[in-house]
């Protein structure tokens, strides 16, 4: 199989890793030859896939002053009494930002943060020379229209092209994805990033855009997507943040947001932006490229690209959580989003729970067959996999060895000697649970007064919008805790914003922390916990982790102290447990966490996702090759000259267009067309033939049919029972394939289906011996379209309810049909039944097959020199297609792995020609009774 190393990868993410800024950099833009040097990028987990604020408060919407050292900055700000507001820019890497504490007592600045990183002697820390890349705080946001326009109006024609703008790391990019890709740079030598610049671009002239396109492509392997500012604002602020983000994190808003959530008109902009991404991808596509689409911002892109590039390799990865079907079904555009994702070859999630939620949602909303490995569509199979994102452990460990980190570690140890530090780093919105963390810390201080003056919570806050911050309800709790427990020399809560902290200082905090506390309500993968584990390689202090994070779902992270953020009392108890834990227990827990972190790395994530994506596309392409109509002229010579033939034919929808009815003794011989029965009987009378009919009907029904076909083998209930071809005695009995299965689920399943039957006109339940069918619609599609739509919704609800309550407990499988669905045990199918038939010496193996075996140890499949399978069961056709002498023919309308295709109406005619052909064979003769 081809390796992804031999393919170029197009990585579509909302924001590019680098952005173009109008004007000269600080210091001036270097010569073009120097711009090829790689720029530093964010470490994973720092600001990763978190929504950022698109508008600045008026008080902060100004061009920043030159950045000072952290100590000087603190001195200046400690003298100023102006209250701070939430900064407008979320920095992906705090390494490039200045320091600015927020939230003191009663909304004013507290003196405690001033001394946080100050040298105890009072002398300022050395001022280090900052590089060009540390001055990206002035990147204009799209909503800063007045500020950016003032910059853009400067004459550009008088300056050389190289000085009109400069390239900087994009503060809004997905840091985790960027560093994961960079971590495999040696193996991923050819790539192309597709995304937006993250700045206002309406004022960019055409010649400037062309120049940026060329330079970004040549020097940064990137292709910008140009989106009008107003369209982007509607798309990002309204739909992505007010609709998709809350839904994916289990937040269904109440009034007054309800209308925005359910009837958002900004979905039009969402479609438009996704189309612009798709157009850019298509324009840059080269044959053999792997297209990797990332995150909830681009859920429609796979479908839009597939429409133009039907054979492209497309993978989609969702970096955030995926909710249960009860939440996702609230979206008015749920079907469009799901179908957009299902056009990918592979859909990846962070955890098995998120993947399971997705499969259940697809089953419930789209009524498609879901399997543990993915989704079965009409024409292909979509693989659904779990690919946990990790960090680049080697790069982070190398950064931790930076002398600057060691300097800050020493400063913190001296400043907080004798004090235990609980560290947290979260966004300020409600989902991240910062308020719950503060309430738990307050409860801890109340219950354990002996820790007053001996423990401090340092909370690093990622920026969010003012509206989300208000909903987070953090400021009042911080003020209350500090007013209750502070003294002249002690403040229990120190609050810092992301840009208030350099990355070196952040690593120093993780290194000296006595506990790291995460209390989010829902999160894809808390990579900051991975960073904490790596930084604790010498101290081995415990991690307190919300059980609702993706990280906690992995066994390696079960050694943390798990908490339910809603349980304030037990979270406070966990803080006490962490601070009083002995070194031996702490090391044992840390060792388990560390073993997981160094295994679940960024390199593993990228390699496994791209490899599996490539493999799945190859399988799809092999199955999507144009299937020719059955060529009887080529088939007949082989049939005539073969001596041992195996014929496997589906009964329903192949030989017999069965129409289910409520009152009937289904499957009596007279129900099956006499012409079909006659042709099967003639085939079975040929001594060279072994004929099997494969059915979903009950054994009782097929026994009636067997009276007319005494020399035919039968498979009943889709593989649950097998009746071998009679031997010399002329007798044969049914053999169960579900003897070891627990069938007590049937009564509960029937009870569920009876509930839905009462609410679905015309529906009825078919109870079989080992399976159950619910026929939810039997009318005319054109006339009763409304009734069918209602019935399909009821069927989706019923499937979801059965799977949730019985599926995993009893190991059940649900197979949707056109107007029905089947419930039966897992690992039972027509394919498994045929496998038992083909196995020599098996309980279902026909005694008549003994004459066909040249060696008792080989299977009948290899002993036969002609195998023909006619039907719709793709799993069976795929399995038989692996045999050298097998001729597989599909009678379905969708995609198939079969060698041939045949319309159902032509099946009886083709079988009749085969039955007549044996007369021309030298050894052909009718079988004696």
How far is it, in rounded angstroms, from Cα 493 to Cα 12?
40
Residue 357 buriedness (CB in 10 A; 0-12 / 13-18 / 19+): buried
The encoded tokens of residue 589 equal 């827990």
Do the strands 735-736 and 721-723 form a parallel or antiparallel pair, or are they unpaired? antiparallel
Burial code (b: 16+ CB inside 10 Å, e: under 16) for 73-93 equals bbeebbeeeeebebbbbbbbb
Residues 6+ apart with CB under 8 A from 294: 11, 12, 13, 14, 174, 177, 316, 317, 319
Cα torsion angle, 120, 121, 127, 128, sign: negative
DSSP E strand stretches across 679-838: 689-694, 713-716, 721-723, 735-736, 764-767, 772-775, 812-816, 820-825
Mean pLDDT computed over 437-463: 93
Q: Output the pLDDT for position 851.
A: 37
Q: Output the pLDDT for position 843.
A: 59
Q: Output the pLDDT for position 242.
A: 86
860 has pLDDT over 60: no
258 has pLDDT over 80: no
How far is it, in rounded angstroms, from Cα 719 to Cα 737?
7
104-159 tens-digit pLDDT: 333 333 333 333 443 333 333 333 333 333 333 334 444 333 333 333 333 333 34
Q: How far is CA 738 from CA 25, 370, 832, in A?
A: 72, 22, 11
**Gyration radius of the chain's alpha carbons:** 33
DSSP E strand stretches across 405-492: 420-427, 455-462
How far is it, in rounded angstroms, from Cα 471 to Cα 486?
26
How far is it, in rounded angstroms, from Cα 478 to Cα 481?
5
Confidence label for 305 from pLDDT (cuts 50, 70 and 90): very high
In 238-386, alpha helices (H) = 245-248, 258-262, 267-284, 301-308, 325-328, 334-341, 352-366
Q: Output the pLDDT for position 217.
A: 94
Q: Output the pLDDT for position 446.
A: 96
Confidence label for 807 from pLDDT (cuts 50, 70 and 90): confident
**pLDDT averaged over every residue in the chain:** 79
Residues 6+ apart with CB under 8 A from 158: none
Instruction: Name the residue among 206, 198, 176 with its Cα closest to residue 42.
Output: 176
More confident residue, 110 or 653: 653
How far is it, in rounded angstroms, from Cα 66 to Cα 144?
20
680-705 tens-digit pLDDT: 999 999 989 999 999 988 899 899 89
Q: What percent of the chain has pLDDT over 70?
A: 75
Residues 6+ apart with CB under 8 A from 444: 451, 572, 575, 576
**pTM (whole model) above 0.85:** no
How far is it, in rounded angstroms, from Cα 301 to Cα 339?
10
Q: How far is CA 166 from CA 29, 90, 135, 212, 725, in A?
A: 6, 20, 12, 10, 79
Residue 873 buriedness (CB in 10 A; 0-12 / 13-18 / 19+): buried
Task: Say whether 723 sits in a helix, a strand or coil.
Answer: strand
More confident residue, 707 or 24: 707
Q: Output the pLDDT for position 658.
A: 76
Task: Say whether 771 sits in a helix, a strand or coil.
Answer: coil
480-502 tens-digit pLDDT: 999 999 998 899 999 887 666 88
Q: Lowest mean pLDDT: which of 406-410, 556-560, 852-856?
A: 852-856
Q: What angle do CA 462, 463, 467 make, to 5 degrees?
A: 130
Find the helix or strand (DSSP H, E) in which 629 lies.
Answer: strand 628-629
The encoded tokens of residue 686 equal 């040929």
Residue given tokens 């839905």 in the structure block = 756
Count of other CB atoms within 10 angstroms of residue 258: 12
270 has pLDDT over 80: yes
Mean pLDDT computed over 513-521: 95
Mean pLDDT computed over 590-615: 93
Residue given tokens 């985790």 in the structure block = 176
The encoded tokens of residue 492 equal 């229990």
Residue 414 buriedness (CB in 10 A; 0-12 / 13-18 / 19+): exposed
The encoded tokens of residue 897 equal 């792995």
387 has pLDDT over 60: yes
444 has pLDDT over 90: yes
Cα torsion angle, 679, 681, 684, 690, sign: positive
How far is it, in rounded angstroms, from Cα 463 to Cα 337?
28
732 has pLDDT over 70: yes
775 has pLDDT over 60: yes
Q: Output the pLDDT for position 670.
A: 43
Q: Output the pLDDT for position 788.
A: 79
Residue given tokens 């963390």 in the structure block = 437
Q: What phi and psi, each to the nearest 5 degrees, are found at residue 694? A: -105, 130
Q: Output the pLDDT for position 569.
A: 96
């Amino acid at each position: 199989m081809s390796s992804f190393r031999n393919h170029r990868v197009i990585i579509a993410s909302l924001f590019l890793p680098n952005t173009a800024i109008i004007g000269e950099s600080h210091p001036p833009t270097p010569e073009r030859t120097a711009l090829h040097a790689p720029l530093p990028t964010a470490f994973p987990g720092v600001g990763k896939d978190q929504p950022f604020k698109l508008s600045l408060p008026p008080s902060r919407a100004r061009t920043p002053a030159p950045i000072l050292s952290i100590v000087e900055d603190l001195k200046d700000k400690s003298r100023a009494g102006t209250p701070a507001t939430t900064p407008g820019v979320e920095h992906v890497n705090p390494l490039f930002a200045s320091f600015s504490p927020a939230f003191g007592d009663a909304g004013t600045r507290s003196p405690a943060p001033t001394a946080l990183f100050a040298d105890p002697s009072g002398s300022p820390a050395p001022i280090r020379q900052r590089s060009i890349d540390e001055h990206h705080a002035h990147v204009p946001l799209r909503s800063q229209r007045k500020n950016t326009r003032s910059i853009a109006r400067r004459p550009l024609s008088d300056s050389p092209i190289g000085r009109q703008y400069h390239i900087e790391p994009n503060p809004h990019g997905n840091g985790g994805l960027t560093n994961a890709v960079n971590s495999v740079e040696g193996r991923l030598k050819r790539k192309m990033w597709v995304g937006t610049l993250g700045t206002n671009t309406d004022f960019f002239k055409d010649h400037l855009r062309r120049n940026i396109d060329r330079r970004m492509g040549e020097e940064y392997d990137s292709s910008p997507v140009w989106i009008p500012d107003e369209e982007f604002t509607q798309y990002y602020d309204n739909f992505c943040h007010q609709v998709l983000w809350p839904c994916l994190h289990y937040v269904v808003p109440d009034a007054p947001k309800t209308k925005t959530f359910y009837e958002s008109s900004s979905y039009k902009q969402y479609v438009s932006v996704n189309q612009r991404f798709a157009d850019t991808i298509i324009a840059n596509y080269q044959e053999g490229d792997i297209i990797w689409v990332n995150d909830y911002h681009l859920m429609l892109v796979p479908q839009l690209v597939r429409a133009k590039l039907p054979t492209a390799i497309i993978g989609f990865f969702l970096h955030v959580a995926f909710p249960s079907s009860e939440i996702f079904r609230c979206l008015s555009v749920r079907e469009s989003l799901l179908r957009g994702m299902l056009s990918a070859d592979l859909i990846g999630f962070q955890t098995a729970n998120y993947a399971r939620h997705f499969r259940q949602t697809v089953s419930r909303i789209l009524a498609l067959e879901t399997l543990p490995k993915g989704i079965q569509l009409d024409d292909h199979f979509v693989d659904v996999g779990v690919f946990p994102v990790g960090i680049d452990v080697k790069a982070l460990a190398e950064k931790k060895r930076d002398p600057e980190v060691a300097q800050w570690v020493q400063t913190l140890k001296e400043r907080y000697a004798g004090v235990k530090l609980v560290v947290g780093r979260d966004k300020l919105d409600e989902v991240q649970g910062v308020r719950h963390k503060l309430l738990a810390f307050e409860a801890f201080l109340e219950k354990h007064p002996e820790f007053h003056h001996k423990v401090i919570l340092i909370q690093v806050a990622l920026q969010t919008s003012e509206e989300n911050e208000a909903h987070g309800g953090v400021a009042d709790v911080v003020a209350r805790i500090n007013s209750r427990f502070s003294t002249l020399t002690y403040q229990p809560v120190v609050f810092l914003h992301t840009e208030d902290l350099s990355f070196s200082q952040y690593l120093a905090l993780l290194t000296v922390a006595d506990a790291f506390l995460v209390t989010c309500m829902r999160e894809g993968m808390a990579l900051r916990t991975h960073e904490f584990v790596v930084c604790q390689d010498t101290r081995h202090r415990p991690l307190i982790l919300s059980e609702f994070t993706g990280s906690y779902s992995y066994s390696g992270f079960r050694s943390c102290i798990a908490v339910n953020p809603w349980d304030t009392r037990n979270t406070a108890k966990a803080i006490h447990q962490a601070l009083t834990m002995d070194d031996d227990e702490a090391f044992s827990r840390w060792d388990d966490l560390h073993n997981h972190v160094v295994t679940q790395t960024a390199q593993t994530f990228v390699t496994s996702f791209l490899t599996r994506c490539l493999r799945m596309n190859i399988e799809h392409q092999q199955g999507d090759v144009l299937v020719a109509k059955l060529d009887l002229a080529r088939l007949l010579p082989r049939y005539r000259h073969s001596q041992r033939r195996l014929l496997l034919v589906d009964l329903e929808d192949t030989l017999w267009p069965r129409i289910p009815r409520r009152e009937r003794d289904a499957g009596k011989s007279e129900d099956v067309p006499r012409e079909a029965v006659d042709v099967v009987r003639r085939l079975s009378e040929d001594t060279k033939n072994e004929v099997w009919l494969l059915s979903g009907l009950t054994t009782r029904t097929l026994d009636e049919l067997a009276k007319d076909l005494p020399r035919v083998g039968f498979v009943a209930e889709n593989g649950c029972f097998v009746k071998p071809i009679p031997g010399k005695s002329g007798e044969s009995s049914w053999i169960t394939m579900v003897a070891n299965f627990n069938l007590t689920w049937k009564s509960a399943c029937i009870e569920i289906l009876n509930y839905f039957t009462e609410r679905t006109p015309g529906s009825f339940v078919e109870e079989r011996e080992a399976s159950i069918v619910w026929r939810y619609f039997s009318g005319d599609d054109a006339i009763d379209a409304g009734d069918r739509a209602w019935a399909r919704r009821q069927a989706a609800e019923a499937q979801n309810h059965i799977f949730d309550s019985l599926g995993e407990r009893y190991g059940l499988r649900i197979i949707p049909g056109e107007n029905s669905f089947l419930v039966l045990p897992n690992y039972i199918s027509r394919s498994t039944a045929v496998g038992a038939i083909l196995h020599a010496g098996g309980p279902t193996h026909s005694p008549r097959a003994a004459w066909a075996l040249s060696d008792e140890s080989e299977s009948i499949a290899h002993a036969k020199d002609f195998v023909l399978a006619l039907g719709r069961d793709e799993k069976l056709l795929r399995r038989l297609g692996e045999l050298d002498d097998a001729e597989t023919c599909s009678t379905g309308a969708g995609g198939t792995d079969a060698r041939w295709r045949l319309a159902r109406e032509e099946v009886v005619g083709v079988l009749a020609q085969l039955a007549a052909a044996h007369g021309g064979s030298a050894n052909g003769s009718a079988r004696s009774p």
